[in-house]
Amino acid sequence: MVLIPENELAAMCREYGIEITHEEYALYERYISMVLEKNKVMNLTRITEPYDVSVKHILDSLIPFVYSPPFGRTADVGTGAGFPGAVMKIHAPSLDVTLIDSLRKRIDFLCEVSEATLPMECIHIRAEDAGRGELREQFDTVAARAVAALPVLCEYCLPLTKTGGKFIALKTPSEDAGECEALISELGGQVSLQKDYTLPDGEKRRLIVIEKVTSTPSRYPRKKIK
């Protein structure tokens, strides 16, 4: 067993206002099985127990659907093992999901996940390079989770976000968008939501949503972010 039983996961998600289907659960099982198998030979996740995987990887990746659902062409920056992007795709198959990571081995693995679950574009590129190339301002939604400190994430992700789109950051309560509002504004963003929530295991989390209101100046992202 790689996840808690289907009825338990469904009940847990329902407590947060999220409905999952039998078909969806089966895809999560297939996906997480692949992650844990690959984890034996490549460092993908330290979270391996069924309850912890269900809470910290599945449920937490779904929280944006409660407060600010991703839409349109969606990028997951610094995706790692595919969280939250692959989970978002499984929950909402109509999303056009692109998984972005700087490590070729992870992207090769995610290509296998895409073939085994639902089709996703998997791109091997550094986030700062992506924001200066053909992917610049191409996404309706950009998401990231615990990849870097919020100011760095904003500089990676807002250049990828279309005007009228949004950047969703899944963070801990220690990170406050209010502390980097000047940078966010400079990057063309505006904070629209900071929502604190608690996962079933008691872990405190914060969802930050930044609307893209104007185009990002061409000097961002910088090649070296302090």
Q: Please write the tens of the pLDDT for every residue from 171-221.
A: 999 999 999 999 999 999 999 999 999 999 999 999 999 999 999 999 999
pLDDT tens-digit readout, 95-112: 999 999 999 999 999 999
Q: Which pLDDT does position 49 carry in this prediction?
A: 98
DSSP string of 169-225?
EEE-TT--GGGGHHHHHHTTEEEEEEEEEE-TTS-EEEEEEEEE-SPPPTT-S-SS-
Closest by CA to 48, choosing from 37, 61, 60, is 37
Q: Which residue has the tokens 């978002």?
A: 88
Q: Which residue has the tokens 């999303």?
A: 95
Q: Which pLDDT does position 204 carry in this prediction?
A: 97
pLDDT tens-digit readout, 35-69: 999 999 999 999 999 999 999 999 999 999 999 99
Read off the pLDDT band of 223 (50, 70, 90).
Answer: confident
Q: What is the three-class DSSP state of 152?
A: helix
- Dihedral, CA of residue 182, residue 188, residue 190 and residue 194, to nearest 10: -80
pLDDT tens-digit readout, 128-186: 999 999 999 999 999 999 779 999 999 999 999 999 999 999 999 999 999 999 999 99
Q: Which residue has the tokens 């039983």?
A: 5
- Mean predicted confidence (pLDDT) in 114-139: 97
Q: Which pLDDT does position 77 carry in this prediction?
A: 97
Other CB atoms within 10 Å distance of the CB of residue 11? 11
Q: Which pLDDT does position 225 carry in this prediction?
A: 64
* Maximum CA extent, the chain: 50
pLDDT > 90? residue 226:
no
Q: How far is CA 28 from CA 94, 110, 152, 207, in A?
A: 16, 14, 30, 22
Helix spans in the chain (H)? 6-15, 22-38, 50-52, 60-62, 64-67, 85-91, 104-116, 127-130, 150-157, 181-186
